[in-house]
Amino acid sequence: MTRDRQDDAPEPRPRRAGAREPADQDLGGEPACMLDRVCPACGRLADAAPPTTCPRCGAAVGDVS
């Protein structure tokens, strides 16, 4: 019986319970809260960080004066 190369590869080590990812690892993704980007008039999410205007209805989003 011959063994395939895949069988010779070491198995990945299981992670310990409670182990954390390294702090310098970039996890990416959206911020936890994007409430400041919600248009108060129509509810659309603004494309840019406030202060800005809503691309759908033109209402002020954030601290636009």
Give 13-65 pLDDT, tens digit per residue. Answer: 777 776 666 666 666 776 678 899 999 999 999 999 899 999 999 999 987 55
Contacts of 32 (CB under 8 A, 6+ apart): none
- Cα angle value 58/37/25 (rounded, 5°): 145
Distance CA(52)–CA(56), nearest Å, equals 12
Model-wide pTM > 0.75: no
Residue 39 burial class via C-beta count within 10 angstroms: exposed 0-12, middle 13-18, buried 19 and up: buried
Domain residue spans in the chain? Answer: 35-65
**φ and ψ at residue 36, rounded to 5 degrees:** -70, -10
